[in-house]
Amino acid sequence: MTEQPAPDVSGPRVLLMNPNSNKATTRTMCAIAARVLPGVTGWTAPAGPPLLTNPASLAEAGRLVAAAELREGLAGVIVSAFGDPGRDELAARLDIPVIGIGEAAARAAAQGGRTFAVVTHTPALETSIDALMHNAAPDARYLGTYLADGDPTELSADPKKLDAALLYAVRRACHDGAEAVIIGGGPLGEAADRLADHAPCVLVSPILHAALQLQAKLRLPKA
């Protein structure tokens, strides 16, 4: 099973697609998006790893997202992995807005001409992340990707270690001149919430900003 049942709520139906296979992560990400969007349902990749950590897994996730058979009646889709896997292909075959959290975060972070950076815990994806940031905000002052120290799977299993490693990287980025820092990863959505009051600069939550951008595209009233 991939797509979760729609909740009994009013408003446009929005699908949040989790390109990894962790259903608990899907529920967490849906809860973040639901702060600003009514009617969010979740889709979890039917195969692949529970955490996307390298280009091969990201590419395979993109194929699953692009080929997914979605229910009719959707108003919009959020692709909730930071590399936006499959977003372009899915958008090309649907006539509704399809928002990738990576692109949404880059645009939000660069608002007002801010210098920004990405902090994440997947070193093998650094090159693809940097390319996405440059493509999404080509005129922005982008400092690059700052990596949390540690194995991504082990960090993800220990929220305290994860938060400490991410916060250290955030502080390095801010010291280097970042005015905004993106916590780069759909599964890092809760960490972005936890660190928001501890960072020395603005933290950008990719899922929340993707939801806000979709809210604007659908012309929904602000929550």
Please report the pLDDT score of residue 31 as a whole number.
97
For the residues of 92-120, what is the DSSP string, one character each?
HH-SS-EEEHHHHHHHHHTGGG-EEEEEE
Please report the pLDDT score of residue 28 as a whole number.
96
Please report the pLDDT score of residue 6 as a whole number.
40
User: How far, in Å, are 46, 116, 160 from residue 107 at the CA level?
Assistant: 30, 10, 29
Please report the pLDDT score of residue 194 as a whole number.
96
Counts of helices then strands in the chain (DSSP H, E): 9, 8
pTM of the full predicted structure? 0.92
First to last CA, the chain: 31
Tens digits of residue pLDDT in 139-196: 999 999 999 999 999 999 999 999 999 999 999 999 999 999 999 999 999 999 999 9
Q: What domains does the chain contain, in order, with CATH numbers?
A: 13-102+209-217 (3.40.50.12500), 104-205 (3.40.50.1860)
Regions of the chain short of the pLDDT cut 70: 1-11, 223
Please report the pLDDT score of residue 52 as a whole number.
96
Please report the pLDDT score of residue 38 as a whole number.
84
